[in-house]
Structure 1
Amino acid sequence: MQANDVRLLRAAAIPTILVGLVAVLVAAFVDGGKGALGAGIGVVAVGLFFAIGLIAVAYASRISPTMMMIVAMASYFVKLLVLIVLLNTFADTDTWSPRAFAWTVIVCTVCWTVAEARGFMKLRMLYVDPETKVPGMPEERGGRA
């Protein structure tokens, strides 16, 4: 991962963890241990879901922009399938609070998305190459050609 990718991951993960801790405390107050467990699982699910995607795309960016999009879509599809399987597997469980899980996932997803967008805007990364060479054009040396 490049330094920008690490900064972006940190910019999104830290606020999400803090919001997640608040969600766990609120869920523990409202629903007890089951609420805290549901909220904790929600925080971990959101963190893993978004971090895996960001890391996968960061590594694919070394290859090509086309590969970035392919990896982004493939990782999203795989994560979504895994999430569906896990939710269906634990649909009838009463070990944790589904309400606390759901609200925590929603709140942490919004937090991650906003924090990641804010972190990306603060990167001040160039999105064009300022010294592009056009194929077939002679290089200018000291003046106009």
Structure 2
Amino acid sequence: MITAAGRTIRVGLLVLAVIALPAFTVAGFSRGPAGLAAVALGLVLVASFFTVSKVAVSVVARRMRAMVLPTALGTYLIKIVILGALLVTLEGSSAIDLAAFAWAVLTGVLGWLGAELWVATHTRVPFYDPEVFRARDDSRRDTLNT
């Protein structure tokens, strides 16, 4: 069973907001306006990538469970292509400080993964599918009654 995406997204966005405060302060003082733009772009990129992936996999999981893995891998491939294209585009740009961008993406990803881990460990999810368990139990009773 897949944990509801809403709670994970909310906690992830909250963690990114907490990360943004010191990140903007450090980037602003050490890298100037290019650092601020880099942190903003990096954290928005992390938030959008994880949110879109979580929503896509959740929607597919509710409708076609067999397509969860292809959906997860497909969203991952799309994210890698977009990130690669973005990095190629930003190479040599003076508007974005690439070091600040890299640190913002790294801390954002680690923060989001921590949020996902926290939600996963604090959400009560059965280790079995109750419907399958009931069906097995019912068939066992039928066998014993005959």
Instruction: Return the TM-score normalized by structure 2.
Output: 0.86
Unaligned runs of 5+ in 2: none
For 1:125, what is the secondary structure of its paired residue?
coil
Deviation, structure 1 residue 13? 1.7
> How many angstroms apart in 1 are the aligned matches of 2:22 and 2:59?
32
Q: Are residues 80 and 72 of structure 1, via their aligned partners in 2, closer, same or farther at CA, if it must alter by over 3 Å?
A: same
1:36-51 aligned within 5 A: 36-51=36-51
1:1-145 aligned within 5 A: 4-131=4-131, 132=133, 133-134=135-136, 138=139, 140=141, 144-145=144-145
Deviation, structure 1 residue 140? 2.2
- Give identity over the alignment, percent: 26
Amino acid at match of 1:125: V
Root-mean-square deviation (CA, aligned residues, Å) is: 2.2
Q: Which has the higher helix share?
A: 2
Instruction: Return the TM-score normalized by structure 1.
Output: 0.87
> How many angstroms apart in 1 are the aligned matches of 2:62 and 2:75?
16
Amino acid at match of 1:140: R
Task: Please identify, of 104-113 and 12-21, the stretch whose mean Cα deviation from structure 2 is larger.
Answer: 12-21
Amino acid at match of 1:122: H
Deviation, structure 1 residue 84? 0.6
> How many angstroms apart in 2 are the aligned matches of 1:32 and 1:116?
32
> How many angstroms apart in 2 are the aligned matches of 1:19 and 1:103?
11
The answer to whether the 8 Å contact 2:34/2:95 transfers is yes
> How many angstroms apart in 2 are the aligned matches of 1:57 and 1:74?
10
Amino acid at match of 2:117: A
The answer to whether the 8 Å contact 2:15/2:111 transfers is yes
Unaligned runs of 5+ in 1: none
Task: Please identify, of 102-111 and 126-135, the stretch whose mean Cα deviation from structure 2 is larger.
Answer: 126-135
For 2:130, what is the secondary structure of its paired residue?
coil
The answer to whether the 8 Å contact 2:38/2:96 transfers is yes
